[in-house]
Amino acid sequence: MNFFDYENMRVIWWLLLGVLLIGFAIMDGFDLGTAILHPFVGRNDRERRITLNTVGPVWEGNQVWLILGAGAIFAAWPVIYAVAFSGFYLAMIVVLFALILRPVGFKYRSKMPGTTWRATWDWLLFVGGFVPALIFGVAVGNALLGVPFRFDDTLRMDYQGTFFGLLRPFPLLCGLVSVAMLTMHGATWLGIKAAEPVAGRARRIGVCAALATILLFVVGGFWVFRIPGYQIVGQYAHDLDSNPLGKHVAMVPGAWLTNYADQPWMLLAPVLGIAGAALAASGLARKWNGVAFIASALALVGVISTAGLSMFPFLLPSSLDPGSSLTVWDASSSHLTLIIMLIAVVVFLPIVLAYTGFVYRVLRGRVTTETVNADHSSY
Amino acid sequence: MYSDQLVELSRLQFALTAMYHFLFVPLTLGLSILLAIMESVYVMTGRAIWRAMTRYWGILFGINFALGVATGLTMEFQFGTNWAYYSQYVGDIFGVPLAIEGLMAFFLEATLVGLFFFGWDRLSKVGHLAVTWAVGIATNLSALWILIANGWMQNPVGAAFNPNSMRMELTSFRDVFFNPVAQAKFVHTVSAGYVTGAVFVMAISAYFLLRGRNVEFAKRSMAVAASFGLAASLSVVVLGDESGYTASENQKMKVAAIEAMWQTEPAPASFTAFGFPDVKNRETHMAVRVPWLLGLIATRSYDTPVPGIENLVVANQDRIRSGMLAYGALVTVRHDPDNKVARATLAAHAKDLGYGLLLKRYTARVTDATPAQIVQASWNTVPNVAALFWAFRFMVAIGLLFIVYFTYSFFSVSQHLVAGPKWFLYVSLGILPLPWISSELGWFVAENGRQPWTIDGVLPTFLSTSSISVGDVWISLIGFILFYTTLAVVEMYLMVKYIRLGPDEHVAPTRQLESVS
């Protein structure tokens, strides 16, 4: 048994997918959250420029976590990429348009003096933060419920859902969890980086967002007892060429909780989600800025891991034809591709983290009206 | 079963969004290196005007960069949203360079670009210079990985079809990386970007000189741009990516279509400098031919023939028949995975499977195609000859014009360090749109010349789409047109405003220095 055999490589890439998505949530999450808070924590142009410039120099690098996440799904889980992006077609286009508002919004807003111009971009930046946060949560909720697709013999997909079909109650709840936790996360960032009164307002909203995260996440947890989860029936080989058509899958209410019964240590994930958010709320209230940020990041780790662990080995179940569901064992790239991608990640990700750390160190310190005015590059 | 309307709308949307994205990419590629060169001079000489130049051109770079990033995201999303079957069929190979691009290049570029703008007072001179160079190099590395992905679509090496997973899978990463088509494309594309950056700096500087303002600033900018532009314009023509086209059968079809060469000519083939391709009668009227030239360009030899369109079509009929055998065997294997005979047949004909798939347009079962359908499908392998013929010639004409322009600029600017006569300044301003026109033409020639395939010889375009409704694509397409048009208006408005304001207004710390003329 080789450690880097096909089965283990699939598990490693399942873990790496989690690492990249959590990396996205922590890094890009705080600037999406900041954009959500932006119109509310700044009451005049001076204050709004403070908010903008806390994330101005770094958000672009943060967004690469999303681009890398999508690229890694494309390379390591191509069929997931194909089904999720085309199945959620209009939702993805909406996310895309919202995300496109960000580079132009940050860059162009303060290039003109007009108040209408600036107020318009302020709200467009809010949309650019709120809409992706909501829809990514809704997408996870739909993955938990199952998505209406199936494959023919040539693995061509047939998708029977609609855009409004995505907006069912449970996925909307997941969308709200996502909005609440990224708002909390953005608030902890502003608590560290922004000058008063912006930071203070952000902390107050952040406490509410953290408590909302806990409440909505717990409600979601109880809801999962009622919704049908998916289970592979019978033996299923873990090291064959990827072909999702060779299995039987049953839909059983509460099946998403069986992993926790088999492996109780997995309960650490939801506990971390709740405890992290609680600590973030308390840190925000007491102005323990660093503690609040780290606690909020841990909450994101907990919440996202909970979704991933509940579904393992499923990645994207099919409600239309459960046998077509995509799992860790039949949706991955070839063994060689997974190995090459792992080498690339092992070599480059530490380098990425190193220069990212360098950039944050160079840019350390609170953003105030003085620092904004001192630099004509400011947004 | 396959909706032509869905295919055409998806292609239209991809083409529009890709061409729009490609309005911003060449300038980013060129300006990023020009900024690094200007800042290097600043660090070496310590003269503040070079810092002011880096900062001012940096502002324009930033306005352009924002839209390049924004529209690049669309490209990544669209493979999944609109070309889902393509994504799952070749993601095993095609996804790898895209993911590595993010990891190795785009991450570096996007993380450090913030320091380029905000790090002037926080970093040492040398430290900031290192950041600027890193952004420039990362931008170019991005192009390398994207063109490795694109090169693989043109010449799919290092991969094989796997009937169990019903897709292409990677067999050699080395072959994908060192794909000659990709390497040629990389050099050609970044050179075109450098020309774009150089023309941009020349044109805006000429504008300042014509207004009689910022003379020292403009003259120095022109000196850098003229020398950089001369090297780049030579490179973009000499290292044109036609050299890579002969690497595979379908690239030969592209060359034949570009040249409107209907029959194989004895080596070395002549180059048709001008003429009117007549697609219906398969001949080119009023052709002006330059003996030997095409043979030399396309094969880098004088004794290798360049095959003509009709000869390639006939050869493709054999491949389609072989592909029918492959497809028949594949259907058997999918239902009966242990059938050794079918597996052997498939293995023997797998490289022609894509040609068999061309018949799906006419018959869902493929194996029951009539001889007439085979002939029809073989003619489908010919791209749009007239469009390619003209697009290529305009692109080359613009490329040659740039060599003349930069040769003059280089000698004029370098010998006297004066910007040249007034007519030269008007010419410099007037040619501003040309690099964008030739870049778009080049993109069109490369990608339209690949039709009817998304992956040359492997996967036909009409099979590559998502299983989505025509209505959904209409909604997104109209959305893109409205949204992108608005963004273009805002971008042009800001760009023009900041060019008019000029360096004095916006490089405040250096306002009192010698940049004021």
**Cα B268 to Cα B386: distance, rounded to the nearest angstrom:** 23
Question: Are A106 and A379 spatial neighbours (Cβ–Cβ below 8 Å)?
Answer: yes
Beta bridge mates, A231: A250
User: Do A89 and B66 make contact, defined as CB atoms within 8 angstroms?
Assistant: no
Residue with tokens 């304001």: B501
Among A86, A329, A337, A346, the residue to mutate for chain B (most B Cβ within 10 A): A86
ipTM, interface predicted TM-score of the complex: 0.91
Q: What is the pLDDT of residues A94-141, one digit of tens each?
A: 999 999 998 888 888 887 788 888 889 999 999 999 999 999 999 999
**CB count in 10 Å sphere of residue A368:** 16
Closest CA to A371 of A49, A136, A62: A49
List C-alpha distances in Å: A129 to A67, A103, A178, A377. Answer: 16, 12, 11, 23
Which pLDDT value is given to residue B2? 65
Chain A positions in Cβ-Cβ contact with residue B166 (cut-off 8 Å) = 154-155, 243
The values of phi and psi at residue A99, to 5°, are -70, -35
Closest CA to B9 of B443, B469, B483, B381: B469
Identify the H or E element spanning B427: helix B422-430
Pairing of β A157-159 and β A149-151: antiparallel
| Cα dihedral B449, B452, B458, B464 in deg (nearest 10) | 120
Pairing of β B459-460 and β B453-455: antiparallel
Which pLDDT value is given to residue B303? 66
Which pLDDT value is given to residue B127? 93
- Digitized pLDDT (tens) for each residue of chain B, 517 residues in all: 568 899 999 999 999 999 999 999 999 999 999 999 999 999 999 888 899 999 999 999 998 998 898 898 999 999 999 999 999 999 999 999 999 999 999 999 999 998 999 888 889 999 999 999 999 999 999 999 999 999 999 989 999 999 999 999 999 999 999 988 888 889 999 999 999 999 999 999 999 988 888 888 888 898 899 999 999 998 888 776 555 555 555 578 888 888 887 887 776 667 777 777 777 777 777 677 776 666 666 666 666 677 888 888 888 999 999 999 999 999 999 888 899 999 999 999 999 999 999 999 998 888 888 999 898 888 988 988 888 888 988 998 899 999 999 998 888 887 765 656 888 889 999 999 999 999 999 999 989 988 899 999 999 999 999 989 999 999 999 999 999 999 999 889 888 988 888 887 655 433 333 332 2
Residue in chain B lying closest to A111 (CA) = B494
**Cα A57 to Cα A284: distance, rounded to the nearest angstrom:** 24
Mean pLDDT of chain A: 92
Give B117→chain A minimum CA distance, Å.
Answer: 6
Which pLDDT value is given to residue B297? 62
Give B46→chain A minimum CA distance, Å.
Answer: 21
User: Do A103 and B67 make contact, defined as CB atoms within 8 angstroms?
Assistant: yes
The values of phi and psi at residue B460, to 5°, are -70, 150
Residue in chain B lying closest to A110 (CA) = B494
Pairing of β B453-455 and β B159-162: unpaired
Give A59→chain B minimum CA distance, Å.
Answer: 8
Chain B positions in Cβ-Cβ contact with residue A356 (cut-off 8 Å) = 111
Which pLDDT value is given to residue A296? 96
Identify the H or E element spanning B285: strand B283-290
Residue with tokens 């059938």: B339
Among B24, B35, B59, B73, the residue to mutate for chain A (most A Cβ within 10 A): B73
DSSP secondary structure, B139-165, as one string: HHHHHHHHHHHHHHHHS--SEEEETTT
Closest CB to A78 among B92, B331, B334: B92
Q: Is A19 on the interface with B (CB under 8 A)?
A: no
Helix axes B385-416, B215-238, angle to 10 degrees: 140
Report CA A54 to chain centroid distance, whole Å.
Answer: 21
User: Do B121 and A57 make contact, defined as CB atoms within 8 angstroms?
Assistant: no
User: Do A99 and B73 make contact, defined as CB atoms within 8 angstroms?
Assistant: yes
Which pLDDT value is given to residue B271? 73
What is the residue type of B419? A
Which pLDDT value is given to residue B245? 58
Give A241→chain B minimum CA distance, Å.
Answer: 6
For B207-238, the three-class secondary structure string (H helix, E strand, C coil) is HHHHCCCCHHHHHHHHHHHHHHHHHHHHHHHH
Q: Which of A312-316, A368-372, B9-13 has the lowest mean pLDDT?
A: A368-372
Chain A positions in Cβ-Cβ contact with residue B84 (cut-off 8 Å) = 82-83, 85-86, 157
**Cα A13 to Cα A20: distance, rounded to the nearest angstrom:** 10
Residue in chain A lying closest to B464 (CA) = A156
Which pLDDT value is given to residue B274? 74
Question: Are B183 and B143 spatial neighbours (Cβ–Cβ below 8 Å)?
Answer: no
pTM to 2 decimals?
0.91
Which pLDDT value is given to residue A146? 93
Give A119→chain B minimum CA distance, Å.
Answer: 15
**CB burial class (10 A; 0-12, 13-18, 19+) of residue A115?**
exposed
The residues, any chain, with a CB within 8 Å of residue B209's CB and separated by 6 or more, are B215, B218, B219, B419, B425
Closest CB to B102 among A71, A102, A336: A71
Give B277→chain A minimum CA distance, Å.
Answer: 39
Question: Are B151 and A316 spatial neighbours (Cβ–Cβ below 8 Å)?
Answer: no
User: Do A102 and B70 make contact, defined as CB atoms within 8 angstroms?
Assistant: yes
Q: How confident is the model at residue A153 (pLDDT cuts 50, 70, 90)?
A: confident
Q: Is A237 on the interface with B (CB under 8 A)?
A: no
Q: What is the pLDDT of residues A54-78, one digit of tens each?
A: 998 898 889 999 999 999 999 999 9
Chain B positions in Cβ-Cβ contact with residue A352 (cut-off 8 Å) = 103, 107-108, 111
The residues, any chain, with a CB within 8 Å of residue B91's CB and separated by 6 or more, are A74, A75, A78, A79, A81, A82, A333, B167
Which pLDDT value is given to residue B508? 44
User: Do B95 and A84 make contact, defined as CB atoms within 8 angstroms?
Assistant: no
The values of phi and psi at residue A67, to 5°, are -65, -40
Q: What is the pLDDT of residues A16-42, one digit of tens each?
A: 999 999 999 999 999 999 999 999 999
Residue with tokens 């307002």: A201
List C-alpha distances in Å: A55 to A35, A48, A301, B252, B438. Answer: 9, 12, 21, 50, 37
- The alpha carbon dihedral of B483, A124, A90, B143 has a sign of positive
Identify the H or E element spanning A239: none
**Cα B430 to Cα B422: distance, rounded to the nearest angstrom:** 12
